């Protein structure tokens, strides 16, 4: 493969590689895709189910400040459950205008490893407990249209994230 065709690794992928964490990079843009296009993309990439693709959501707790939830894209975050596991009375989604300033990423490109790295581990990060059952999940690689297949437990251990019931 010539250098011209080689895809540059994202900062997140460089962090994973440096720490000997296996990942599988894929180009995956599900936002503006029809159901048929989504199914074709999942089949082509051998991902299996759309429920293996996870979104990284930034929230704000009334006591802890920013916190991160990683849940399947087919699910909805239960703010009350997130508040309970994070030691808050309530949480609310971080306003879009504060997202990039807080996490370092634009909407759709948030990644738990990148956020952990940029915040020096000061934001609590929670993975939905379904990620343990799924094992290999797909999260944004830190850029729109790029994702990485990761072992949820290995990554959670690395960034000191907890597993909890987070979905409605």
Over residues 150-163, the pLDDT tens digits come to 999 999 999 999 99
Residue 60 tokens read as 């704000």
pLDDT in tens, 85-101: 999 999 999 999 999 99
pLDDT of residue 29: 66
Burial annotation 74-107 (CB, 10 A radius, 16+ → b, else e): eeebbbebbbbbbebeebeebeeeebeebbbbee
Q: Three-state SS for 40?
A: helix
pLDDT of residue 1: 43
d(CA 151, CA 76): 22
d(CA 69, CA 56): 6
**Bigger pLDDT: 121 vs 75:** 75
Residue 2 has pLDDT above 80, yes or no: no
What's the order of all strands across the beta sheet hosting 91-93? 91-93, 54-61, 65-72, 125-128, 162-164
Residue 48 has pLDDT above 60, yes or no: yes
């Amino acid at each position: 493969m010539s250098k011209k065709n080689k895809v540059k690794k994202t900062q997140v992928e460089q962090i994973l590689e440096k720490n000997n964490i296996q990942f599988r990079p894929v180009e995956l843009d599900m936002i503006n895709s029809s159901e048929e296009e989504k199914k074709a993309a999942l089949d082509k990439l051998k991902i299996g189910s759309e429920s293996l693709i996870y979104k990284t959501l930034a929230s704000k707790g009334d006591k802890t400040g920013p916190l991160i939830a990683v849940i399947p894209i087919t699910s909805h975050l239960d703010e009350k459950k997130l508040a309970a596991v994070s030691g808050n009375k309530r949480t609310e989604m971080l306003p879009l205008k504060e997202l990039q300033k807080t996490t370092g990423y634009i909407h759709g490109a948030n990644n738990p490893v990148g956020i952990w790295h940029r915040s020096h581990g000061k934001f609590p990060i929670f993975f939905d407990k379904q990620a343990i059952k799924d094992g290999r999940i797909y999260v944004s690689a830190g850029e729109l249209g790029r994702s990485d297949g990761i072992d949820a437990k290995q990554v959670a251990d690395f960034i000191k994230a907890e597993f909890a019931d987070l979905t409605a």
